Amino acid sequence: MDISMKSLFVTGGLGFIGSNFIHKLLKSGEFDLVINFDKETYAGNQENLAFFESDPRYVFCKGNICDAELVSNLLFEHQPEAVVNFAAESHVDRSIDGPEPFVQTNIVGTLRLLEAFKSYYNSQSDDRKSSLRFLHVSTDEVYGSLKPEDPAFCETTPYAPNSPYSASKASADHLVRAYHHTFGLPVLTTNCSNNYGPYQFPEKLIPLMILNACEGKNLPIYGNGSNIRDWLHVEDHCSGILSVLQQGRVGETYCIGGASEKTNMEVIDTLCDILDRHHPAGAPHNQLKTFVTDRPGHDHRYAIDFSKIKNELGWQPSYSFEEGMEQTVDWYLNHQKWCENVTSGKYQRERLGI
């Protein structure tokens, strides 16, 4: 069933994927109101949505998804048709250094968000309930690691998380499922492969390599660079989420992939080739590659079979890997001020008035 929606409550909307999703919503002209609820952690940047600051359709509310009372008050005030949950601690290396914030945000936060939504949902008329949705955005990392010969992850792949980050996301996925089966909440879950594209925080592989290469710094590669990921352009991910939100079957999970399995070495070589053409240096950029000690418990391969969302909802990625990487490099090269503000921490100092 295609659900018509005019107002959405988006958590974590200042982050990489959340801000791209809000760009898509507001540029489409289909939505009357988007409420962006974000804690403004290091990964949340107001500059990502500066274009919409004076747009009456856009409302920013600062807060923590662990604050169920605040979330509940905002839901009752704005009466959105859907909650889309992007809010999460998401960097594996940070989860290894300190797992507790991942438990608090990804597990406790999701629980509190579900409780607030349950209260809001139960207050609505039966007619209104039929159009409400709670969509939880998750990751393929909950499925563990694949061997080279293994079939790609799909919605029925058993969970086998291997890092504190993926374990916390798996726990959140289970809570969302439980709130549907126990309380009848109209939930949906998406599990995506590795995203890349505009506004990604530069601790992640692709923006880190682009910015390091532009500055003539080393390009650090874990292990021997053979780890494989399925790469999904963030704009394709956002279109997939919107398809699931509007057409997906309540209670179901949909895997969203990019059909672009690449080793880390292939990703870096592609970036270097593009930068050699668009941002030439004194020597080929691939001479900056350097190998570093591998991440503890580094999953070898991720891949997603997105047959379900393709067959049921007609979604498939529009970007090829090569097109997406060209667009991404071009975006970072043409947004140097954004990059400088993020890497220097200026965006945080301005927020704090320092």
Catalytically active residues are 140-141, 165
User: Token pair 């609820």 is at which residue?
Assistant: 37
**Buried b / exposed e across 263-283, counting CB within 10 Å, b at 16+?**
bbbbbbbbbbbbbeeeeeeee
149-186: b (≥16 Cβ within 10 Å) or e: eeebbbbebeeebbbbbbbbbbbbbebbeebbeeeebb
- What residues contact 247, with CB distance under 8 A and at least 6 apart? 1, 2, 3, 312, 313
Joined together, the tokens standing for residue 203 give 């601790």
Question: Angle of helix 321-333 relative to helix 264-278, nearest 10 degrees?
Answer: 50
